[in-house]
């Protein structure tokens, strides 16, 4: 072994501990896993597959409510677990767009046989998490989820998109105008098809932004934000359950 080779091996040996100490940040890990899933499990059907299989049948007299959504729904379970009393099931996945939710809607909603589903979606479409998407495309995905639910006798709550005037993970996006337009459409569409509209935007906003008292990153509610949302959700569930059940598809 010549001196140059020995020196190179020694340098690699000394550098190895420093290399080993470099670890992924949470953000880097999330981004890597997100990219991997886009190619291997676009809808992330694996996320709740085992949980769904473990669920017992709905209990008579205790209507099952499924909350379908993105990180705002996922965090709701984590930050306000007391809201999810028996029969209330969270099926939110961080970062998801309506196209991803539509892909898993049968597995994570229909097959669970709920009385009601709440659909809270659109934030990540506006952010462009799975690529550019028009409002018409987002609306089409939501309409498809609603039609699937109603075809299986599931009452629908359409949740407003919560307020946001910026996205930390997508600098340069101005979401507020699209959120306002989508919420106007959601409210009108809910009225037209007999769904219930849950207006979370109104209790969370200051101007076009998320009230800083209800969340510090401009998008995701904190515990106080979810406490403000809970009465809106409870009222929407009562209204939805009071509506006639949709006629099931045979």
Label residue 71 left, alpha or beta by phi (over 0 means left) and psi (-120 to 50 means alpha). Answer: alpha
pLDDT at residue 90, as a whole number: 98
Apex CA 185: angle with CA 220 and CA 71, to 5°?
Answer: 20
pTM of the model: 0.86
For residue 14, what pLDDT is reported?
54
Answer whether 246's CB lies under 8 Å from 154's CB. yes
Concatenating the DSSP letter of every residue in 57-92 gives PPPTTS--EEEEESHHHHHHHHH-GGG--TTEEEEE
- CATH fold of 43-242 reads Rossmann fold (3.40.50)
Q: Quick one: pLDDT at residue 6? A: 47
Q: Tell me the C-alpha distance between 243 and 60, whole Å.
A: 18
Nearest of 180, 195, 96 to residue 143 by alpha carbon: 195
- pLDDT at position 27 is 65
pLDDT at 248: 65
pLDDT for 151: 97
| CA proximity to 154, closest of 162, 146, 142 | 146
Q: Residue 68's pLDDT is what?
A: 98
User: Cα 181 to the chain's mean position, in Å?
Assistant: 19
pLDDT tens across the length of the chain (250 residues): 555 554 555 555 555 555 456 787 776 776 777 577 666 767 898 999 999 999 998 888 899 999 999 999 999 999 999 999 999 999 999 999 999 999 999 999 999 999 999 999 999 999 999 999 999 999 999 999 999 999 999 999 999 999 999 999 999 999 999 999 999 999 999 999 999 999 999 999 999 999 999 998 999 999 999 999 999 999 999 999 999 987 665 5
């Amino acid at each position: 072994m010549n001196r140059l080779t020995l020196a190179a091996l020694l340098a690699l040996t000394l550098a190895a501990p420093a290399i080993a100490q470099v670890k992924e940040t949470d953000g880097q890990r999330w981004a890597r896993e997100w990219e991997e899933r886009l190619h291997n499990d676009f809808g992330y059907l694996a996320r709740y597959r085992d949980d769904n299989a473990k669920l017992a049948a709905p209990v008579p007299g205790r209507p099952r409510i499924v909350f379908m959504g993105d990180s705002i729904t996922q965090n709701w379970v984590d930050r306000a677990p007391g809201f999810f009393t028996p029969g209330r099931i969270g099926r939110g996945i961080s970062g998801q767009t309506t196209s991803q939710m539509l892909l898993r809607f049968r597995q994570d909603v229909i097959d669970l046989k709920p009385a009601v589903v709440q659909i809270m979606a659109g934030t990540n479409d506006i952010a462009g998490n799975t690529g550019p998407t028009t409002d018409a495309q987002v609306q089409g995905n939501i309409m498809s989820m609603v039609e699937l639910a109603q075809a299986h006798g599931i009452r629908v709550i359409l949740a407003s998109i919560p307020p946001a005037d910026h996205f930390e993970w997508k600098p340069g996006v101005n979401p507020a105008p699209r959120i306002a337009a989508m919420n106007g459409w959601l409210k009108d569409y809910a009225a037209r098809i007999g769904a219930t509209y849950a207006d979370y935007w109104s209790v969370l906003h200051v101007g076009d932004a998320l009230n800083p008292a209800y969340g510090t990153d401009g998008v995701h509610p904190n515990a106080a934000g979810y406490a403000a949302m809970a009465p809106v959700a409870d009222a929407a569930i009562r209204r939805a359950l009071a509506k006639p059940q949709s006629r099931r598809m045979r």
